[in-house]
Amino acid sequence: MKIVYTDIYNDLTKELLRISKEAISAGKKVFYIVPSSLSFDKEKEILERFNNGIDTSLFDLTVTRFKQLPWYFVKDDNDQDKVELTNVGKAMLFKRVLSKFTKDELPLYYSMGTSSAFLDSLVDLHSELEKSNLTSSDMVKANGGERIKELALIIDQFDLELSEKYANYSKIDEFIDNIVKDKFTNSLQNSIFIIDGYSRFSAEEESLITVLDNKSSDLVIGAYMSEKSYRSPYIQGSVYQNTIEMVNRFKKQYSAEVYKIVNENVNNYFTDVSIAWENENDPTSTDEFKLEIPKNEENRLRIWKVINQKEEIEYVAKEIRQLLSNGVRYKDIQVLVGDAENYRIKLEQIFSLYEIPYFYSLEELMKNHPLITVIESLIRIKKYNYDSNDVINLLKTEMYKPIDYSLDEIYDFEFYIVANKIRGRKKYSEEFNGRFAAENIEEKNSLRESLLGDESPIQKLLSNNNKRLAKTLISDFKSYLKESRIDEIMQDLFNQAENDNDFALANRHQQVWDLMLDSIDEFLQVFEGEKMTMLEFLELLYSGLSTASYRGVPANVDVVNVRDYELVEPRSSKYVYAIGLSQANFPKHKTNSSLLSDEDRENINKSIEDTSEKTANKSKFIEQPGFTSNAKNIYNAMSLFNSATESLVLSSPELYDVSQEEVSPYISFLINKGVNVEVKKGVNLNSNIEEIGNYRGLLSNIGKLERQMKDDTGNNQGEVSNSAFWRSMFRIIKNDKVYNSIIQANVDDIVPVNLSIDVLEDMYEKNIYASVSSFETFYNCQYQYFINNSLRLQELETINVDSRTSGNYFHEVFEDLMKSYPSTNDFDEKLTYSLQKIYNENNYKYYFQDETGKYVYSRLKEIIFQTATMLKKVINNELISPQEFEDTFGFPGSKLSDYSVKIDENHHLKLRGKIDRIDKIVDSIGVVDYKSGNLDFDLNKVFNGQSLQFMTYLDTLKNNYQSPIWGATYLQLKNSAIKLNDLPELDLLPVYLLKNMLYKGVYNSEESIELRDTNLYNISKNNSYSTSEIDNLIQHNEKLYKRAANKLVTGQLAVNPVVEKDVAVGCRFCNLKAICKFEPDIHMKYGRKIIKQPKDAIFEEITDDRD
Strand partners, 767: 908
Whole-number CA gyration radius for the chain: 38
Strand partners, 173: none
- Looking at this protein, which amino acid is placed at residue 430? E
Residue 822 vs residues 416, 834, 879, 882, 928: alpha-carbon distances, Å: 43, 11, 17, 12, 18
Cα–Cα distance for residue pair 351/313, rounded to 1 Å? 8
Sequence-ordered alpha helix ranges (H) in 791-850: 803-819, 827-841
Task: Give the class (CATH, top level) of 295-360+556-680.
Answer: alpha beta
Q: What is the dihedral of CA 137, 143, 149, 155, to 10 degrees?
A: -50
The answer to whether the CB of 955 falls within 8 A of the CB of 896 is no
Please provide the DSSP assignment of 166-230 as one string. EE-TT-HHHHHHHHHTTTTHHHHHTEEEEE-S-S---HHHHHHHHHHHHHSSEEEEEEE--HHHH
Cα–Cα distance for residue pair 979/118, rounded to 1 Å? 37
Fold of 2-78+172-266: Rossmann fold (3.40.50)
Total length of the chain:
1107
Sign of CA dihedral 727, 733, 737, 738: negative
Q: What is the dihedral of CA 505, 511, 516, 518, to 10 degrees?
A: 170
The answer to whether the CB of 639 falls within 8 A of the CB of 569 is yes
CATH number for the domain formed by residue range(s) 366-546: 1.10.486
- Expressed in angstroms, the distance from the first to the final Cα of the chain is 99
Element holding 490 (H helix, E strand) = helix 486-499
The pLDDT of residue 154 is 94
Residue 599 vs residues 516, 623, 708, 1093: alpha-carbon distances, Å: 38, 12, 59, 59
In percent, how much of the chain has pLDDT > 90?
36
Cα–Cα distance for residue pair 111/115, rounded to 1 Å? 8
> Could you state, in order of their start, the residue ranges of all structural domains in the chain?
2-78+172-266, 87-149, 295-360+556-680, 366-546, 689-746, 751-800+877-1107
Cα–Cα distance for residue pair 1029/1036, rounded to 1 Å? 10
CA nearest neighbour of 229 among 240, 218, 237: 240
Three-state secondary-structure class, residue 984: coil
The answer to whether the CB of 966 falls within 8 A of the CB of 1004 is yes
- 103: DSSP letter: T
The pLDDT of residue 1037 is 94
Residues near 205 by beta carbon (within 8 Å), at least 6 away in sequence = 66, 131, 172
- Looking at this protein, which amino acid is placed at residue 499? N
Q: Is the model's pTM score more than 0.85?
A: no
Q: How wide is the angle at C-alpha 88 spanned by C-alphas 601 and 512, nearest 5°?
A: 130
In tens, the pLDDT along 867-907 reads 888 888 888 888 888 899 889 999 998 999 999 999 888 88
Cα–Cα distance for residue pair 585/589, rounded to 1 Å? 7
Residue 988 vs residues 244, 345, 863, 865, 995: alpha-carbon distances, Å: 71, 55, 21, 20, 11
The answer to whether the CB of 1014 falls within 8 A of the CB of 876 is no
Task: Give the distance, in angstroms, between the CA of residue 954 and the centroid of all CA atoms in the same chain.
Answer: 48
Cα–Cα distance for residue pair 758/305, rounded to 1 Å? 55
Residues near 501 by beta carbon (within 8 Å), at least 6 away in sequence = none
Residue 962 vs residues 118, 604, 956, 959, 1002: alpha-carbon distances, Å: 75, 89, 11, 8, 20
Task: List, for the chain, all residue ranges whose pLDDT scores fall below the cut of 50.
Answer: 718
One fold for 2-78+172-266 and 295-360+556-680: yes
The pLDDT of residue 963 is 92
The pLDDT of residue 45 is 83
Sign of CA dihedral 456, 457, 462, 468: positive
Sequence-ordered alpha helix ranges (H) in 643-722: 665-672, 695-711
Q: Is the peptide bond before 587 cis (omega within 30 degrees of 0)?
A: yes
Cα–Cα distance for residue pair 137/158, rounded to 1 Å? 14
- Looking at this protein, which amino acid is placed at residue 118? F
